[in-house]
A and B are shown apart, each in its own frame.
Chain A
Amino acid sequence: MDATVLRTLLNQVLSLTIEHIVLVAVSCGSAVVIGVAVGIASTRHAGMRRISVAVASVLQTIPSLALFGFLLPIPLIGGIGRHTAILCLILYSLLPILRNTIVGIAGVERPVREAAIAMGMTDRQLLRMVELPLAAPTILAGIRIALVTNIGTAVIAAIIGAGGLGVLIFRGVASVNTLEIMAGAIPAAVLALIADAGMSLLERRMARP
């Protein structure tokens, strides 16, 4: 193989990696905002909790490939391209974040919550000063799961034309080109490892008493 082919491939890996990171960052960021917000609301209303957890659980059980497929024919939100992929990745990341937000807040010890209310905290103050700080390690653990899974799932986004490292893998598989498969798979794995390590570092920071 000559140098120019290699250089082209390398450039491609670089730009697709960036595309991949953007896909993951946008979808995960949105999932965090939605998941934490709905999670908080779910600790305030039992009805909301039942519905949100049920919906997120069902979404999670749909194989990711099928979820991409389902969204394709839906007008406005569906269709080929990046926005459909991002929507799918958001839906797919919601459950761990939502669930961990609920579990984390529910895990605040009763006397602690009782004391905070008895001292005269409003519901907002209770949330901001007590529940969220104490739930933070648990919520971060949920985000970590969502993020790492998301990096893998985003590979499939290439199938509906959203770009990312999946492009190389699918092309490699189609043309039985191991080098191309590796060129897509290795950066994806490295991204996942970096994300995992970074998040666990952050988690330990937060959990430190």
Chain B
Amino acid sequence: MEGRRILEDLSFGVERGETLVLLGQSGSGKTTALRLINRTLDATSGRICIDGRDIRQLDPIELRRSIGYVIQDFGLLPHWTVEENVSLVPRLLGWEMDKRRRRARELLNQVGLDYQEVHQRRPYRLSGGQKQRVAVARALAAEPGLLLFDEPFGALDPVTRHEMQQQFLILRKQYNVASVFVTHDLLEALALATRIAVLDRGKLEAQVTPGEFITLRTPVARSFLDTLPSGLLDRCAD
């Protein structure tokens, strides 16, 4: 399939304990960038390395199992219970049943769910926010060194969203993981990022720290800043 280039001149790096936020409008190529990293898509050119190794030299199946990925629509398996969903990657990796159970219990509690209450439920009996939490727990299950989060807190009310963001910061510290976090919510980007990469139709417009972001004059960055309630930034500057 020959066609339009979705991503071009995109370059970034992320270390353990850091979060690179990909910020961009719908269709700017954020999901595509994540899919290149876990090789559910292969780049036509360029290079992606994890721990100094080119991912094209790695087995794609093993690579994917070593990365924690929350895909945009969660994709919980509808015929599996919450516990089975959370245990998916450990199961693929051949963990013993007991170990998987313990891990699922620990994780569900960590993402703020009551294990006893939800572990036997099927996804259709969860609220949107609960599904998101399960998807996050599933991504963390096998203690990956790299997390890819694709708008994981999109469908949450502001209070729960804030709670999940705080939880994310705690988990990032606890597991000392590198993470690439996609969002189109500027406040979320500012709260979570160690660096923010701004995408403009597949091109990297700017890559800055959250502190530098508010000084950006580039078009996409400006239009994101314009979404903030007026006066908020002035107050921040004080």
Residues of A participating in the B interface, judged by any CB pair closer than 8 Å: 109-122, 125, 129-130, 133-134, 209
Contacts and interface: CB of A to CB of B under 8 A. Distances in A.
Contact of A112 (B78, B89, B138): B78
Contacts of B92: 119-121, 125
A120 B77 contact: no
A121 B40 CA distance: 11
Contact of B65 (A113, A120, A129, A133): A120
A112 B40 contact: no
Interface in B125-149: 138
B69 interface: yes
B73 A118 contact: no
B64 A117 contact: yes
Contacts of A115: 69, 71, 74-77
Given A109-B78, A110-B73, A120-B63, 13 more contacts: A109-B75, A114-B75, A115-B77, A116-B75, A117-B40, A118-B38, A118-B71, A119-B92, A120-B89, A121-B61, A130-B77, A134-B78, A209-B122
User: Main SS of the interface on chain A?
Assistant: helix
Sort chain B's interface into a size bin. 20 to 34
B74 A114 contact: no
B78 A120 contact: no
A116 B73 CA distance: 12
Nearest to A112: B75
Given A114-B75, A133-B79, A119 B122 contact: no
A133 B71 CA distance: 22
B76 A118 contact: no
24 contacts: A109-B75, A111-B73, A111-B74, A111-B75, A112-B75, A114-B40, A115-B76, A115-B77, A118-B35, A118-B69, A118-B75, A119-B64, A119-B69, A119-B92, A120-B61, A120-B64, A120-B65, A121-B61, A125-B92, A134-B78, A134-B79, A209-B78, A209-B122, A209-B124
Contacts of B106: none
A118 B92 CA distance: 12
Interface string B50-94: 000000000001111100010111111111000000001100100
Of all A-B residue pairs in the complex, the 7 with the closest CB atoms, nearest first, are A115-B75, A120-B65, A120-B64, A111-B73, A111-B75, A118-B69, A112-B75
A122 B40 CA distance: 12
**Interface hub of B65, B78, B122 (most chain A Cβ within 10 A):** B78
A119 B74 contact: no
A117 B92 CA distance: 11
Contacts of B65: 119-120
A118 B67 CA distance: 9
A113 B78 CA distance: 11
Contact of A111 (B62, B71, B89, B122): B71
A136 to B, nearest CB: 9
A109 B78 CA distance: 10
A55 to B, nearest CB: 28
**Which among A112, A115, A130 has the greatest number of chain B C-beta atoms within 10 A?**
A115
Interface core residue of A117, A119, A133 (most chain B CB under 10 Å): A119
Contacts of B69: 115, 118-119
Contacts of B124: 209
A138 B183 CA distance: 37
Given A114-B40, A114-B71, A209-B124, A119 B89 contact: yes
A118 B122 contact: no
Nearest to A113: B75
Contacts of B89: 119-120
Contacts of A117: 40, 64
A116 B64 contact: no
Contacts of B35: 118
